[in-house]
Structure 1
Amino acid sequence: MPVEEAHGTATERVIASARFINEHSSDVRVPEAGVQRAAREILERMQSTGYSAAEWKRHALTPSVADEAALEWIFVVDALNFSFWPTRADRAQQYMVTLDGTPYRGYWSLCAAVNRALREGVAITDARHYAHMTAEALAHVFRTDDPQAQEPIPMLAERVQVLREAGRVLEARYGGRFANMVAQCGGSAQRLVETVVRELPSFRDEHAFGGRTVCLYKRAQILVADVWACFEGRGAGRFADIGSVTMFADYRVPQALCHFGALEYSPQLRARLEKSEAAVRRGDAPLLLASGDPREVEIRGNSIWAVERIRRLIAAAGADVNAVMIDFFLWDYAKEHADAMREIPIHHTRSVYY
């Protein structure tokens, strides 16, 4: 059966895809009552804590100065921003990078590895360098603290391929600098997302679902959002259309959306995910959902739709909060309240898209 292509701008395609997935889902739903409760609680929490885009630069690992070096750092990190869930339940055996005495896991381990490499004199944020780095050199950059006891970074071979590909595109078409790509997009988030998706196959987060192509574009959109947050909406991060960017569908934010009641799984899917989590706790392999599996697409697409519904309700209440800020808040909340969410299972998918 032919697959219908999505139309419109990049983020219009994402919103249309999310709506389509929501309307044709069998195992995931976005309950309206839960969305309304979530919108109220999220807005209250964001207002009471003064949550803002400035949170991005307050972390010890993110660039503290918004300059061209920060742009290149952001590009490398978001090119590699995928698949961090561990296969070992024992935290001491998980992939970990320690920097300045602090151990980091998950996404932050990637940031720590990049910063460690820069301190060691490796030009890991220079496209003209990483486009030609050997697999051995990149394996050293992303080494875990204790290779004898800890698992390596997941999908190392794919990270090598993605980073080289990205570097060669920048080298061939943008003078070796992501800053040039940003400049050519003229302050448009839409144009930058579209450019990244067109130029870099690993960012082309598209899947067949229900007889049509659905577009989710997690990494392309978070790349734009990180530039916006780092520059606090000024200079290179001044995107007049940042409000058009959707949330970034991964495996952690859906967990937070379930916690807030804005996302629900069928009993069958919930049991499947819980069985996978139980396998990891026993030390066995998780039950993977393949990238593009209808259940995986439903989880991600409905997450986008849930956040879009939350965003619209918050906007109707008169608050100026975009989907980027809601996503950032939910991701931070999930990390900070991991123990409270332990009973909500995540899905296990190995993918370069998230």
Structure 2
Amino acid sequence: MIDYITDYMTIDQDYNAFKGKETFICNKGIKNLALEVKNYILQNYQTENLAEITNLTRITSDFYPDLLDHRAVDWIFVLNTLNFALWNPRSTKQWTVNQLTGYQALCVAIKRAIDEEIPIWSPKYYTKLTQHELEMIFKSDDGETNIPLIHERLTILHEIGNILLHKYQGSFVTCVKRSKGNPLKLLNLIVTNFESYQDKSTYEKEPVYFYTKARSLVSDIWFYFKGHKFGFNYATWMKTMFIDYRFSQILLHFKIVSYSKQHLTKLERNDELKYGSKEEIEIRSSSMAAIDSLSTEVFKMCNDYFVKKKQTDINYTIILDNFLSDYRQVHDQLLMETQPFPNIKCVYY
């Protein structure tokens, strides 16, 4: 059992405090990319697409449940629970569904299963799933490349399903309702009850709390229902999170982060990094610190402009996530050819 989260400081950790020995942040790179993001924002503002790039679920909206769908919360819970280790090492075949990769491929596969009347959203179903059945749900376009860590995904579905059936009346909706509109309480329910969300490490004898998947799940539910359905009170620290290892390629491309020669060699060789290792923690900590600094810089560059336009409710963190997602998709081949990304196979990220 992990420590109970007592306040927001435990999860809103200052990742700049973990001074990297293998991974480093460049402030000049942050300013350069912030200018790119600023142009992205202003271009979309001028074409009246600002609402589109400030929508957290914009990328996956075609593959998410309808707002009135009674399965929506459990569906989103399954999506977030299985959102880990979706990339194979560079220079190898990626798991692809409907020509999409990563989280989008996961969304498509789940939506495809539900359209085929497979109740993958229901713990009564997925607690009894076999590995063969799960492999068919996540069948790739080529019929050969499997989703990574299929056995671990099956084990997790069995575990979370049994917990929901025995403690939460067979639905994640019960967890949300028991939080009574408090996102911190919901986060506690998630990380204390579901092992695959207990994302906590130790760096030089100091605890490091990531809880990336748990925070993403809480944010996803809040933004998806806009806080209305469950009386959810949004907290400023419960922001969308940096959860895709491929984004680190963009940080390298813009020279926001750099690695020691030894560490870079390991990444270029596609050496697998162990979850909880110093290298893995430094990559995640420095990436999250860089994104936080980048979000702050974008705010400084853009806020005065939008204050004059009397538009002050812009969430720059969501815009930044969407920019990174767009950039990775548009420049996917370039990034794959020029920038390594961590080969980490774990159930948390």
Q: TM-score by structure 1 length?
A: 0.83
Identity, in percent, stands at 28
Provide the residue aligned with 1:200 in structure 2: 194
1:139/1:189 CA distance change after superposition, 3 Å: same
Closer/same/farther in 2, CA of residues 38 and 238 from structure 1, 3 Å limit: farther
Gap runs ≥5 in structure 2: 45-49, 304-311
Q: CA RMSD in A?
A: 2.6
Indicate whether 1:307 and 2:291 are aligned.
Answer: yes
Match of 1:280 in 2: none
Q: Of 16, 28, 46, which aligns to 1:19?
A: 16
Spell out the pairing of 1:96-111 with structure 2 (5 A cutoff).
96-97=96-97, 102-111=98-107
What per-residue deviation string (whole Å, max 9, x for no partner) do you get for residues 78-117 of structure 1?
A: 11111111258465xx4333xxxx3333322222221222
CA distance in 2, matches of 1:258, 1:190: 33
Alignment of 1:117-132 (within 5 A): 117-132=113-128
Q: How does 1:1-354 map to 2 (within 5 A)?
A: 8-9=6-7, 12-16=9-13, 18-21=15-18, 23=19, 25-49=20-44, 50=50, 51-53=53-55, 56=58, 59-65=61-67, 67-87=69-89, 89=91, 91=93, 94-97=94-97, 102-147=98-143, 150-236=144-230, 238-245=232-239, 247-276=241-270, 287-317=271-301, 318=303, 320-342=314-336, 343-354=338-349
Moved more, 133-142 or 58-67: 58-67
- In structure 2, what is the equivalent of residue 282 of structure 1? none
Partner of 1:281: none
CA distance in structure 1 between the partners assigned to 2:319 and 2:95 by the alignment: 28
Q: Counterparts of 1:251 and 1:275 in 2: how far apart (Å)?
A: 16
Name structure 1 gaps, 5 residues minimum.
277-286
Residue 347 of structure 2 aligns to a residue whose secondary structure is coil
Number of paired residues? 329
Over 3 Å counting, the alpha-carbon distance change for 1:87 and 1:304 in structure 2 is: closer
2-side partners of 1:236 and 1:48: how far apart?
Answer: 35
Q: CA deviation at 1:203?
A: 0.7
Task: Go from structure 1 to structure 2 and tell me whether the alpha carbon gap of 1:288 and 1:146 turns closer, same or farther (over 3 Å shift).
Answer: same
- Shift of residue 316, structure 1, vs aligned partner: 4.2
CA contact (8 A) 2:24 2:286 kept: yes
SS class of match (2:202): strand
Residues 95 and 179 of structure 1, relative CA distance in 2, 3 Å threshold: same
CA contact (8 A) 1:259 1:341 kept: yes
Q: CA deviation at 1:298?
A: 0.4
| Distance in 2 separating the partners of 1:334 and 1:202 | 27
Which amino acid counterpart does residue 77 of structure 2 have in structure 1?
F
Residues 178-218 of structure 1 show CA distances to partners (whole Å, capped at 9, x for unaligned) of 12212222333322222211111111111121111211112
Deviations 1:7-40 (A, max 9, x none): 753x52243252332x3x1011222222233333
Matched residue of 1:339: which SS?
helix
Going from structure 1 to structure 2, the CA distance change for 1:160 and 1:326 (only over 3 Å counts) comes to: same
Q: CA deviation at 1:59?
A: 4.2
Question: Bigger shift: 64-73 or 229-238?
Answer: 229-238
Kept in 1: contact 2:187–2:218 (CA 8 A):
yes
Tell me the amino acid that sits aligned with residue 308 of structure 1: D
Secondary structure in structure 1 of the residue aligned to 2:207: strand
Q: Which runs of structure 1 show a deviation greater than 6 angstroms over 4 or more consecutive aligned residues?
A: none
The one-letter code matched in structure 2 to 1:302 is S
CA contact (8 A) 1:113 1:141 kept: yes
Q: Determine if contact 1:221/1:248 at 8 Å carries over to the other structure.
A: no
Structure 1 residue matching 2:276: 3-state secondary structure: coil
- 1:58, distance to aligned residue in structure 2 (A): 5.9
Task: Give TM-score, length-normalised by structure 2.
Answer: 0.84
The change in CA–CA distance for 1:316 and 1:146 in structure 2 (over 3 A counts) is closer
Equivalent pair of 2:26/2:256 in contact (CA under 8 Å): yes
